Amino acid sequence: MQIAHLLRGRSPGQTLSLGIGKFDGFHRGHQRIVHVIKEHSLLADTRSGVFTFRHFPVDFMLSSWEEKLLLLRRAGLQWCLWADFEEICHWEPEHFLQCLQNWQVKEIVVGFNFCFGAHRKGTLRFLQKVGCCFGLNVIPVAPVRVGAAVVNSTRIRSALRAGRIEEATQCLGRPFSFEGRVITGRSRGLGLGFPTANLYLSKKIFLPYGVYAAWVAWKGHFYQAAVNIGVCPTFGKNNEESVEVHLLHFNEDLYGKKLQVYLISYLRPEITFPSPEALKNQLAKDVVQVNLILGSHPEFDSGVPEG
């Protein structure tokens, strides 16, 4: 996949069929848009691609920039044009369409509620009205629903904030994941008989404090894990927030290594136990529950789309 800044790159010398959107999380709605892009690209003999933002104003990004590029690449797209939101958010819609002309964009594929440009004036209706003036064929894509509600990034963030991990998984089409590097912790888990890898995360996440069942990827293999997100209140009130991962049936040194964590289920909230021994007993129960949840799926599939 070729990656180019909207304002600093050059046209590939071929026409483009381009999807436009934030593509945060690359959820099932985004996947449908990409499917339509690729279909029309084949029919029109154009190059398939998207325009998206690297940075945009939201407190909780479902995927980092690197993760987004990986997902788009694995979906089989040929081009990714990008900009930062603050670079172009003040543009009038016509200015953006003129810029697409410079890239020889002939088709644009957008979601049903798509808006762009200053004050969100560039609606789908506006596009359908003026697109032909810019040589654009505008292709709207119907929403994807899970249950009674439409799939979108806002819904997925809400589900994650509430601990509804299974709902987020259904909307994404794969488990929500995050990456972190193992750093030095306080070795409390080791003292309790449940050694943990303390993660420094590559992106901010907003999830309920508590224990999760997860799969963890390392060196091309997936390992069952109990993940605790919180402040370890049993050991005092002034602890900083941490993400601690206990890998089941695993005893290798992970210090300094990067791990990818795929959340499967929210087990319980974080609570203050009367003693470390009581916490130890609960951790043993958590591990049993993780085994029950994950043991029925001995072969884990991250669900990352392939082209």
Give pLDDT tens digits for 40-59.
999 999 999 999 999 999 98
Q: Which residues contact 134 (CB under 8 A, 6 or more apart)?
A: 97, 98, 100, 101
Radius of gyration of the chain (CA): 22
pLDDT tops 80 at residue 197: yes
DSSP-based three-state secondary structure for 294: helix
CATH superfamily placement of domain 2-149: HUPs (3.40.50.620)
Q: pTM for the complete prediction?
A: 0.90
Domain boundaries, the chain: 2-149, 175-295
pLDDT tops 80 at residue 234: no
Q: Given this model, what pLDDT does residue 92 score?
A: 93
DSSP for 175-198, written as a single string: --EEEEEEE----HHHHTT---EE
Mean pLDDT of 132-148: 94
CA pair distance 224, 190, nearest whole angstrom? 18
Strand partners, 179: 260
At 124, list the tokens.
């789908």
At 35, list the tokens.
């499917």
- 175-295 CATH fold: Elongation Factor Tu (Ef-tu); domain 3 (2.40.30)
CA pair distance 68, 217, nearest whole angstrom? 18
How many other β-carbons are positioned within 10 Å of the β-carbon of residue 127?
22
